[in-house]
Structure 1
Amino acid sequence: MSTAPTADARPIRILFVFAWLVVGGEETEVRLLAQALDPTRYRIEVVACFRKDGMPEQTHAQLEAIGVPVDRTPYALGFDETVAYLASKLPAYDVVVSCQNVADIYPALERMHLRPPLIEHGGLVSEALAGPKHFTARYVGVCASIRDAAASRMPGREQHAIEIPSMVDTRAFDPTRRVPVRAALGIAEGVPLIGWLGRLDPKKRVEDFIEAAALVHARHPRARFVVIGGPDAFIPEYAVALRNRARALGLDGALTFLGDRGGRARPARRARHIRLAFAR
């Protein structure tokens, strides 16, 4: 039996509400999910509530390149105006997914009589413990400790807090690109190359990688190291401190900071994020 939608069926509309858009795990998951879901059955849109000078535009461009609209309207609004804007926007959607403990989402929902189901997605224990949960149909934590923290705020329905680990699409690691990428980096074949990938945020402890690189380099001078990822717009001084630390450890010429780098669009292996959240 065919599962194709009928002519008058409309896609399920899913709105991801971000506190802000940077280059991170949640942003990547939205992009991979949008590539994997059947566009005749699901339509994903994104709205971001806040922007600060220095935040990268990479995620905006990547989402729009694959047909995911990014609503920037709140960038020009204050908090109360953003709440009112979301309250007018949310009723059009079948599911709302809030990422990063969006401060505007609950005040907006409080103003509505008919509310779409809300999924909250959290990548920090502090996010899971913050704010009310009475409108949250499901809380998705990326690890058990985050799930448990959310469950502690959902008495009587702890099972509505679930764990779905962050995805890694291994198809992005294409062995056919090894030679040209190393050549572009000026790394000869046979030279050990070790990388770190992520946003330059103190909670990720990039300094540990730099300290380890110094230890390895002392014993293997040919080894080279790269740090891939840009500064956190809220803590730009951390990126400066990392560069200074690498220099102080004698890693000039051995360790390179590459900043944010775009990747090729690929379908994700795990397209069940929304379905799993409601099925459990």
Structure 2
Amino acid sequence: MRVLHVISTLGPGGAGHQLRLLVRRLPHESEVVTLSPPAASTDMLRPEGARVHHLSSRGDHDPAAIGRLRRLMRAGHYDVVHTHLYRASVLGRIAARLAGVPHVVATEHHLGAEAIEGRRISPGVRALYLAGERLGQITIAASPAIAGRLRAWGVPDTRLTTIPKAIDAREYRFDPELRDAARARLDIAPGVPVIGGIGRLEPDKRFDLLIRALTEVPGATLLLVGDGPARAALERLADIEGVAGRVRFAGVVGHVREMLCAMDVFASPGQETFGLATLEAIASGLPALYAACAPLEERAAARAPVRGTQRLSRDRESLPRALRAELLCLAERDGKRLPARSTGFRYDADHLAASVGRLYERMAEGPGRRRIIAPLLAYRGRFGRKNSFPLPGGNVRNA
């Protein structure tokens, strides 16, 4: 089976890394096309044998990009086109149908309550997405929250499945040499306790709470890994709170392992997150404080909590109090790392690939769809007659 993955941007983390984990494990001939300019991070795919095409687009409404994608798809004779992220899904699904690709699937990695890939969810954005959705066969939601939002938009259950995000825990194993190198580069002395946060620097990640909490945790340094529109505001806040000298902004990194090795406690104070960075932190042997992390919440609900993890309450004092307690525990352990932990196979990269592989096989059991105009004309969504196209082989939920 030949598979073409179309992704809006193939950056070092997020959806780009999820795609790398998937491509490395799928038993199919896979190629990747990115709709952004070439980046050094794409080299991470090449050792696995995946060819990477670069095809820049000017936006979500780019007929020229659709034409280039269509030519690439026709020349490649692909059996499956798998799109990732909003722009790739809009342009890629149209191009795949124009090229006559038998099977089209999309993965929604990030679908915030208010924005997609940094843009507001306006009626036009939603309508464009839903019109394109009719040209595919199924949409994979990367979390239950994303699945719920897609249902609220009007995507039928028969065209929706949930396959959660995943990690390869081996990628985050602790290395004391990496720790020393990272701390030296960040100008952090060996004995200083480091509180860490990872993610895009935007308001809903609530890294401002970490900066305010730092004022109540004497002697500790805060390490924030990532970049985004809130960085300048966070730098100003650190200045105002008098802790600018104890905050390090590492920016975007190719892989977070080294930064995790440099930390002593991980904290994720944002409520709007799946919690993948928290899973990476516990795989590195860090104690983890979190406001939201679906996998850890599942374990806690099943009365099987993961050692060294604590869910933060909405109490303003919860975060600084928990940080102080973890640093006391760190001192009692003489700075030793906790063992690497995980939340089980459901959030492992092998499970991700196996689930997607089974989905491809189920689609291949029946005839592909080559109609192009009819799905667009038939689509009326929530504003008119319900009209859905069943998947080959029936409903494919929770693959």
Shared topology, TM-score over 0.5?
yes
Question: For 1:34, which of 6, 16, 23 is the aligned residue?
Answer: 23
2:68 alignment partner, SS class: helix
Query: C-alpha displacement at 1:141, in angstroms?
Result: 0.7
Tell me the equivalent position of 2:174.
175
Query: C-alpha displacement at 1:88, in angstroms?
Result: 1.7
Determine if contact 1:98/1:121 at 8 Å carries over to the other structure: yes
* Ranges in structure 1 where 5+ consecutive residues have no aligned partner: 1-11, 232-236
Partners of 1:160 and 1:47 in 2: CA distance: 24
Mark the CA change 1:179 to 1:68 in structure 2 (over 3 Å): closer, same or farther. same
Q: How does 1:1-280 map to 2 (within 5 A)?
A: 12-37=1-26, 41-51=27-37, 57-74=39-56, 79-91=62-74, 92-102=77-87, 103-112=90-99, 114-122=100-108, 123-124=110-111, 130-132=129-131, 133-151=133-151, 153-155=154-156, 158-177=157-176, 179-180=179-180, 181-202=182-203, 205-206=204-205, 208-215=206-213, 217-231=214-228, 237-263=229-255, 268-270=349-351, 271-278=353-360, 279=362, 280=396
Structure number with larger C-alpha Rg: 2
Query: C-alpha displacement at 1:105, in angstroms?
Result: 2.2
Q: For residue 99 of structure 1, what is the amino acid of its counterpart?
A: H
Q: For residue 84 of structure 1, what is the amino acid of its counterpart?
A: G
Mark the CA change 1:258 to 1:200 in structure 2 (over 3 Å): closer, same or farther. same
Partners of 2:245 and 2:48 in 1: CA distance: 37
TM-score normalised by L of structure 2? 0.54
Flag as ranges the 4+ runs of structure 1 deviating above 6 A.
Answer: none
Tell me the equivalent position of 2:313.
none
TM-score normalised by L of structure 1? 0.75
Query: C-alpha displacement at 1:26, in angstroms?
Result: 1.1
Mark the CA change 1:62 to 1:241 in structure 2 (over 3 Å): closer, same or farther. farther
Query: C-alpha displacement at 1:17, in angstroms?
Result: 0.9
CA RMSD of the aligned region, Å? 3.0
Mark the CA change 1:36 to 1:185 in structure 2 (over 3 Å): closer, same or farther. farther
Q: What is the number of equivalent residue pairs in this alignment? A: 248
- Report sequence identity in percent: 24
Tell me the equivalent position of 2:316.
none
